């Protein structure tokens, strides 16, 4: 009687099939038709998994080749003219917006891509014009995919990004100043037209995602919900019924918006993140509205605690009756791996603690049964209770030595010996760097040869010695290229690293690893987060061997490269039984030992990447955010403050939205920061002058997400713009991020232009 529902399923397939197909298409190895066929196969397979699991409400249009927000840019014909004017096929135009296009005489950079809320998924920002118009794309994707499922005998509920969130998550294009939300009245008619088309195709209900409802909202955005949703409700039965979905936070602070949804069938809320919002939300619902209760975590891999979920569901049912409650995933399952069944190497006890997407859809179906008829699923409930107990009692989770060390952490351990001015004087002498020093962010291309050798080593086909020799050769090569390019601070290139977090996880105690548990990060890029299951410690040095070797064969300073504690935490699946601040401090202590070991071994520039620092920021202002900032910043400082003043600490961030976050970045006290900047306005750097930031900064001078090689003039112009906001002696010249996803010829081309531009400015000053 109680229905089960899934808000979205991962797109990649069991073996990252979509990634492979996309990349083959981009490399002209398969045709557009091949790619479309593969996508269709994946969609059908994913619907079938959910159907077979017994899920009642199965999503469609949750599939995207690159990103679902990008889908909507095309769906509403909100594609900037620089793409439409290229006259590419719709799919190529779509990919051009996602990743740039430099082929067949066309040269156009990608649209800006940013983090999706506090996740490690990235979406493409709707980029809107002052005179923006919208219209419905021909053969709209949500209708097409709904019909595709229907033809296969599966009734689905299409998922759409809501009109308010679509605009609120967008921005004005360069050269425009429009506040996107003012475009609402132009978008709503198109939205209505889309809903009518879905209804005509047979869709009875749609899921409209308005996740911005978990933010603190400007009044203009709050006010937009009413006209948008009233216009939809006014269509009556000409449009499907609407479930408004929110996730990744609570919506209690935006309750004044809810009357706008009076005409909606119901509301979805995230009860994993914010179970306490259940009762207040129930009180807000209209007389016949349903509650979609998100109790199965779409963001983590832990097996659902049925007992806990059932308690929430019972509360809802008691208040609303079974017909008005839907058991759902907390968010789309996009952020979870495809299936636990692929994991053959997990320790047997630990295996029983997890659920991935294909298992979570079963959990949703089981919970929906259990809530009214526990007897029908008693075996499943018993097995679940046993798994919960086994995890709680396991010795894997507790290491008394780690706890003891944490109890001995002092305030002084978080601070460098002296202030920056003094440190910098020593570093300058020690490292003899020119003005506008050039460097890169760490990784060089992860070639297929590297992957082949790594696989061979993992499988035992080559010995450790052979693998080490291979890595040394790769490092030699990276150094030779940096010699040729004339960079100032070298990196070893990270050829030994499969991934910037997994690599460390594999060398730390307290982690387990999967073999196939990939989740989409952006476009075709996937990450395989390791899983923190217990207290963390570092048995042995993790990076010293490679960095030391690299330094020994390099004539310039070699930068050691570590992933920071917050990023290790954020890009792992964290424990849900211990507060994240505790897990983070454990990581910080392990990294502190590594930093000191690097220094002892002759590495005097050490970069500790914290690209995830900002995404961990609680989405709303207030005490939770303040507490996070405190423990996150302290973890970084604890990890890095153990070195001498003459050792230079760098940190790196892959995002450009640091204005509201400036004080946290400044509080890290890193000697040099590199930050993504190439796709945003250099004006953003103004905060560094306004706040009299004393230390050094390398705002990225080009976009590494795109294969495009910018010409030298572009670099010069960018540096010139930066010099309007930064002091020359403060400015480092580097790319936006690591280069692992690029090809060597792209890297050489771009870095040649970058170094030339730096030399040009060196001569000017
Ligand atoms: N050092 C890492 C690299 O270059 C940094 C990656 C990142 O910030 N995402 O690959
Ligand atoms: Zn980065």
Which atom of ligand 1 is nearest the CA belonging to 497?
10
**Token couple for 291:** 């509650």
pLDDT confidence of residue 655: 75
The closest ligand to the CA of 609 turns out to be 1
Helix (H, G, I), strand (E, B) or coil at 243: strand
Please state, in angstroms and rounded to a whole number, the distance separating the CA atoms of residues 169 and 127: 9
The closest ligand to the CA of 499 turns out to be 1
Phi/psi for 173 (5° steps) reads -70, 160
Q: DSSP for 438-460, please give it.
A: BB--SB----HHHHHHHHHHHHT
The closest ligand to the CA of 561 turns out to be 1
**Token couple for 153:** 């005998």
Which atom of ligand 1 is nearest the CA belonging to 653?
8
Q: Under a CB-based contact definition with an 8 Å cutoff, are residues 128 and 183 in contact?
A: yes
Q: Which of 414, 516, 705, 753 is catalytic?
A: 705
The closest ligand to the CA of 650 turns out to be 1
The closest ligand to the CA of 704 turns out to be 2
Q: How many CB atoms lie within 10 A of CB 556?
A: 20
> Using CA positions, which residue lies closest to atom 6 of ligand 1?
738
Please state, in angstroms and rounded to a whole number, the distance separating the CA atoms of residues 556 and 554: 6
Give me ligand 2 centre to Cα 654, in Å: 4
26-7-299-258 Cα dihedral, nearest 10 degrees: 120
Give me ligand 1 centre to Cα 443, in Å: 6
pLDDT confidence of residue 131: 97
Pocket test for ligand 1, best of 609, 670, 673 (most atoms within 8 A of CB): 609
Which atom of ligand 1 is nearest the CA belonging to 738?
4
Pocket test for ligand 1, best of 494, 558, 560, 737 (most atoms within 8 A of CB): 737
Give me ligand 1 centre to Cα 250, in Å: 32
The residues with which 675 forms a beta bridge, in sequence order, are 653, 699
Question: How would you classify the pairing of strands 122-124 and 325-329?
Answer: unpaired
**CB-neighbour burial class of residue 150 (10 A; exposed 0-12, middle 13-18, buried 19+):** middle
CB-based pocket (< 6 A), ligand 1: 441-443, 494, 500, 561, 609, 611, 652, 654, 737-738, 740
- With tokens 């940190």, the residue in question is 651
pLDDT confidence of residue 129: 98
Which residues sit in the known binding site for 5-methyltetrahydropteroyltri-L-glutamate? 19, 120, 525-526, 571
Question: How would you classify the pairing of strands 648-653 and 605-609?
Answer: parallel
Q: Under a CB-based contact definition with an 8 Å cutoff, are residues 640 and 417 in contact?
A: no
Which atom of ligand 1 is nearest the CA belonging to 607?
1
Which atom of ligand 1 is nearest the CA belonging to 611?
8
**Token couple for 408:** 């001995």
Please state, in angstroms and rounded to a whole number, the distance separating the CA atoms of residues 683 and 51: 51
Distance (Å) of CA 687 to CA 660, 661, 690: 10, 10, 5
**Helices (H) and strands (E) in the chain — how many of each?**
27, 23
Please state, in angstroms and rounded to a whole number, the distance separating the CA atoms of residues 16 and 337: 10
> Using CA positions, which residue lies closest to atom 4 of ligand 1?
738
Which atom of ligand 1 is nearest the CA belonging to 441?
4
Give me ligand 2 centre to Cα 566, in Å: 14
Question: How would you classify the pairing of strands 113-115 and 122-124?
Answer: antiparallel
Pocket test for ligand 1, best of 738, 742, 747 (most atoms within 8 A of CB): 738
Q: Which residues of the chain have pLDDT under 70?
A: none
Helix (H, G, I), strand (E, B) or coil at 236: helix
Give me ligand 2 centre to Cα 123, in Å: 16
Which residues sit in the known binding site for L-methionine? 441-443, 494, 609
**Token couple for 599:** 């220094």
Give me ligand 2 centre to Cα 655, in Å: 8
Distance (Å) of CA 621 to CA 214, 552, 626: 11, 47, 8
Give me ligand 1 centre to Cα 602, in Å: 22
pLDDT confidence of residue 680: 85
Please state, in angstroms and rounded to a whole number, the distance separating the CA atoms of residues 117 and 284: 25
Give me ligand 2 centre to Cα 422, in Å: 28
Which atom of ligand 1 is nearest the CA belonging to 654?
8
ipTM of the complex: 0.99
Give me ligand 2 centre to Cα 611, in Å: 6
Active site residue 705: yes
Please state, in angstroms and rounded to a whole number, the distance separating the CA atoms of residues 478 and 174: 36
Which residues hold their Cβ within 5 A of ligand 2, which is an ion? 611, 654, 737
Calculate the CA 502 to chain-centre distance.
Answer: 15
pLDDT tens per residue across span 368-392: 999 999 999 999 999 999 999 999 8
Which residues sit in the known binding site for Zn(2+)? 652, 654, 663, 676, 737
The closest ligand to the CA of 656 turns out to be 2
The residues with which 652 forms a beta bridge, in sequence order, are 609, 674
Please state, in angstroms and rounded to a whole number, the distance separating the CA atoms of residues 145 and 130: 32
Pocket test for ligand 1, best of 114, 561, 703, 742 (most atoms within 8 A of CB): 561
Pocket test for ligand 1, best of 495, 566, 605, 611 (most atoms within 8 A of CB): 611
Distance (Å) of CA 406 to CA 168, 399, 531, 626: 42, 11, 21, 22
**Token couple for 14:** 């069991």
For residue 357, give every residue at least 6 positions away whose Cβ sits within 8 Å of its Cβ, in sequence order, or none.
Answer: 9, 10, 333, 336, 337, 338, 339
For residue 321, give every residue at least 6 positions away whose Cβ sits within 8 Å of its Cβ, in sequence order, or none.
Answer: none
pLDDT confidence of residue 323: 96
- With tokens 């067949």, the residue in question is 104
Which atom of ligand 1 is nearest the CA belonging to 442?
4
Name the strands in the sheet holding 290-296, side by side, starting at the edge strand that comes first in the sequence: 3-5, 325-329, 290-296, 266-270, 241-245, 205-209, 156-161, 58-60
Give me ligand 1 centre to Cα 500, in Å: 7
pLDDT confidence of residue 374: 92
Which residues sit in the known binding site for L-homocysteine? 441-443, 609
Which residues sit in the known binding site? 19, 120, 441-443, 494, 525-526, 571, 609, 652, 654, 663, 676, 737
> Using CA positions, which residue lies closest to atom 1 of ligand 1?
442
Distance (Å) of CA 474 to CA 467, 499, 595: 11, 17, 23
């Amino acid at each position: 009687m109680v229905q089960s529902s899934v808000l979205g399923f991962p797109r990649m397939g069991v073996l990252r099939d979509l990634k492979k197909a996309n990349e083959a298409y981009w490399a002209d190895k398969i045709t557009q038709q091949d790619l479309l066929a593969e996508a269709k196969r994946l969609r059908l397979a994913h619907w079938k998994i959910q159907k077979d699991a017994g899920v009642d409400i199965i999503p469609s249009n949750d599939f995207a080749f690159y990103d679902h927000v990008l889908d909507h840019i095309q769906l509403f014909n909100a594609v900037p003219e620089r793409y439409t004017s290229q006259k590419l096929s719709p799919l190529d135009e779509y990919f051009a917006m996602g990743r740039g296009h430099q082929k067949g005489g066309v040269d156009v950079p990608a649209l800006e891509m940013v983090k999706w809320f506090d996740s490690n998924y990235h979406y493409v920002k709707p980029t809107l014009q002052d005179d923006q118009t919208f219209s419905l794309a021909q053969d709209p994707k949500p209708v097409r995919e709904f019909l595709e499922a229907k033809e296969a005998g599966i009734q689905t509920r299409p998922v759409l990004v809501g009109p308010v969130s679509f605009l609120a998550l967008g921005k004005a294009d360069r050269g425009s100043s429009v506040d996107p939300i003012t475009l609402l009245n132009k978008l709503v008619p198109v939205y209505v037209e889309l809903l009518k088309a879905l209804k005509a195709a047979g869709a009875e209900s749609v899921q409209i995602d308005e996740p911005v409802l978990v933010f603190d909202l400007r009044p203009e955005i709050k006010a937009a919900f009413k006209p948008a949703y009233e216009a939809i409700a006014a269509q009556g039965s000409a449009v499907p019924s609407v479930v408004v979905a929110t996730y990744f936070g609570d919506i209690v602070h935006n309750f004044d918006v809810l009357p706008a949804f009076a005409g909606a069938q119901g509301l979805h809320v995230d009860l994993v993140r914010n179970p306490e919002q259940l009762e207040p939300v129930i009180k807000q619902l209209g007389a016949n509205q349903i509650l979609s209760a998100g109790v199965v975590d779409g963001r983590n891999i832990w097996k659902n605690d049925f007992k806990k979920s059932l308690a929430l569901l019972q509360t809802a049912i008691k208040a609303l009756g079974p017909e008005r409650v839907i058991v759902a995933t907390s968010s789309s399952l996009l952020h979870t791996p495809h299936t636990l069944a692929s994991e053959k190497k997990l320790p047997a006890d630990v295996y029983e603690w997890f659920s991935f997407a294909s298992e979570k859809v079963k959990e949703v179906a089981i919970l929906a049964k259990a809530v009214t008829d526990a007897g029908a699923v008693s075996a499943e409930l018993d097995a679940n209770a046993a798994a919960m107990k086994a995890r709680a009692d396991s010795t894997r989770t507790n290491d008394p030595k780690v706890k003891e060390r944490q109890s001995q952490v002092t305030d002084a351990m978080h601070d460098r010996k002296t202030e920056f001015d003094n440190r910098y004087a020593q570093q300058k002498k020690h490292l003899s760097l020119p003005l506008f020093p050039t460097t890169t962010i760490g990784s060089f291309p992860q070639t297929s040869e590297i992957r082949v050798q790594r696989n061979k080593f993992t499988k035992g086909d080559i010995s450790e010695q052979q693998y080490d020799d291979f890595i040394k050769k790769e490092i030699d090569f990276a150094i030779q290229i940096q010699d040729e390019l004339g960079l100032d601070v070298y990196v070893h290139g990270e050829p030994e690293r499969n991934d910037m977090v997994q690599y460390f996880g594999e060398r730390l105690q307290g982690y387990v690893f999967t073999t196939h548990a990939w989740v989409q990060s952006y476009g075709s890029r996937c990450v395989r987060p390791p899983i923190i299951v217990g207290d963390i410690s570092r048995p042995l040095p993790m990076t010293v061997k490679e960095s030391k070797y690299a330094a020994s064969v390099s004539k310039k300073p070699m930068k050691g490269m570590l992933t920071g504690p917050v990023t290790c935490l954020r890009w792992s699946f964290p424990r849900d039984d211990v507060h994240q601040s505790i897990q983070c401090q454990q990581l910080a202590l392990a990294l502190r030992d590594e930093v000191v070991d690097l220094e002892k071994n002759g590495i005097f520039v050490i970069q500790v990447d914290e690209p995830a620092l900002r995404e961990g920021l609680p989405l709303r202002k207030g005490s939770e955010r303040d507490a996070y900032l405190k423990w996150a910043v302290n973890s970084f400082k604890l990890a890095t403050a153990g070195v001498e003043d003459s050792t230079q600490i760098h940190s790196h961030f892959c995002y450009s939205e640091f204005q509201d976050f400036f004080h946290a970045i400044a509080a890290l006290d890193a000697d040099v920061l590199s930050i993504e900047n190439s796709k945003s306005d250099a004006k953003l750097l103004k905060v560094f002058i306004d706040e009299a930031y004393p230390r050094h900064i390398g705002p990225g001078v080009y976009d590494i997400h795109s294969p495009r090689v910018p010409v030298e003039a572009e670099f010069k112009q960018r540096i010139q713009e930066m010099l309007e906001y930064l002091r020359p002696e403060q400015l480092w010249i580097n790319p936006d991020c690591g280069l692992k996803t690029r090809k060597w010829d792209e890297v050489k081309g771009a870095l040649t232009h970058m170094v030339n531009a730096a030399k040009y400015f060196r001569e000017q000053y």
